[in-house]
Structure 1
Amino acid sequence: MMKTQRYSPSTERSKITYALWGLGIIAFIAVLFFSGMYIQIMGEKTDTYNQSEQQALNQTELSSVHHVSRYHGPIRYDIVAGVTKEGKKGYAFIPKDTEQANISYVALSDVLTEDSMKQQWQSTCNACELIDIIPAHDGSIPLWEVTFTDSNERYAIQTFNMKSGSKVDTFYFRR
């Protein structure tokens, strides 16, 4: 014969216990969902890098690739940094938002280097704090994009022509 426990308020599970279990399960599902979403988004961010690397090796003077990055301007570009067979460094700019990929290539010996751009920029902006300098592209113009904070504590982005060093555009953002 099976014994059953008599009903007693002290033996009944409280509603708080059920609510905590429910919240725990919902939180666990939310963490799984957002983790999966994050992994998918980060994967999509770099999913064109291998294709861009192959295009740069096949359609430009580059014979080896050191780094691939992304530039988001009016047109999204994958920027492939590498070296030619002669040992000259260069950048291949591969557009990703258009069907016809007009790949442009710039040898680093034909443009201002990152260090030269940094020195030129520092001479014009004394009270600024440099955040980053990255290669960029706008239409048919290779650019350097300089990100910094200015003396007014504004976040700023300036673009400079890679060949001449002339300023192309400036954007300021309040913090």
Structure 2
Amino acid sequence: MKKIVWIISSVVALVLLIGIISFSWIYQIAMGQKEQGHEAAIERAKEQAKIVQVEQVETFVGKEKQFIVEGKNKQNETTYVWVPASKKEKVIAKKAKEGITSNQAVQAVQKENTVSKVKDVKLAREGDVLLWEVTYLNENNQYSFSYVDFTTGRVEKNLTP
């Protein structure tokens, strides 16, 4: 009887170990894909937008994949650089003061929609339109997205999948 318990325990432990290793491997692959392209985007931002210090890099996938590099220029001004994954598309750079803040984007969304909880706010781009993507839970606890024009502060699009 003790032998059967030992065998079952060993099999369960082995299955658990394999599960943990598999999850870790899949997670590493997924995170590697998310960050793939960040170094090249930083180089393009430094070269084309004269960024001297990089604060962070985010990946946005909409109609086309974009990397948004936040950094400082020589005058120590916060600058956002939208770097398309495709080298054929143009890089767009704007000083933070040329557009609205993330808080102003959230306020614009709250004026138009019932927002029960804001989940995330990040920069985005569709074509040449620079945006803030506001992710939130609506009154029905559904994930919703609103896109706010970075320059004008106008809500461009609301989506509830």
TM-score range, shorter chain: 0.7 to 0.9
2:24 is aligned to 35
Normalised by the length of structure 1, the TM-score is 0.79
CA distance in 2, matches of 1:75, 1:135: 14
Change (3 A) 1:85 1:152: same
C-alpha distance after superposition, 1:119-170 (max 9, x if no partner): 3333334654322221111111110111112223322100011111222211
Provide the aligned length of Structure 1 versus Structure 2.
161
Change (3 A) 1:92 1:22: same
C-alpha distance after superposition, 1:25-72 (max 9, x if no partner): 333233222212212221222132222112111111322111111111
1:71 is aligned to 60
CA distance in 2, matches of 1:131, 1:42: 20
Relative contact order higher in (CA < 8 Å, ≥ 6 apart): 2
Residue type of the partner of 2:53?
A: S
2:130 is aligned to 142
What is the percent sequence identity of the aligned residues? Answer: 20
Larger Rg: 1
Normalised by the length of structure 2, the TM-score is 0.85
CA distance in 1, matches of 2:115, 2:29: 40
* Structure 2 alignment gaps of length 5 or more: none
Change (3 A) 1:23 1:153: closer
Residue type of the partner of 2:150?
A: M
Larger proportion of helix: 2
CA distance in 1, matches of 2:96, 2:7: 65
- Compute the RMSD of aligned alpha carbons: 2.3
